[in-house]
Amino acid sequence: MEDDESPQVEQVTDADRMQASPKSIDKMWNFVTKFAEKSGTYLHPQREITEFLVIGLAKHVDDLGRPLCPCNFYENKAEEVKSSTWICACEEMQKFKYCH
């Protein structure tokens, strides 16, 4: 692969998008976009990666009521939601100003 080529990212499908409600997906797109603008945080330069993240956040909003970061493994998501450590914008994102 040449230096100026980005690695191929799996394309987001309608089946991926169906994992969360359209309302929650719209809400999370709005959230991540506004948060990035206000905080100086950077979204991933490959839109597909950001879209997978948004779908994961939206699914957690639907399932758990809060946007738990979908990039980590949690033994008990319901218990993790009680802590604010991995609720978007998670501590890691706030510290490094970059979302996966």
State how far Cα 94 lies from the chain centre: 14
From first CA to last CA, the distance across the chain in angstroms is 22
CA distance linking residue 29 with residue 22, whole number of Å:
10
Catalytic residues: 71
Cβ neighbors of 11 (< 8 A, separation 6 or more) are 48
Structure-token pair, residue 43: 């979204």
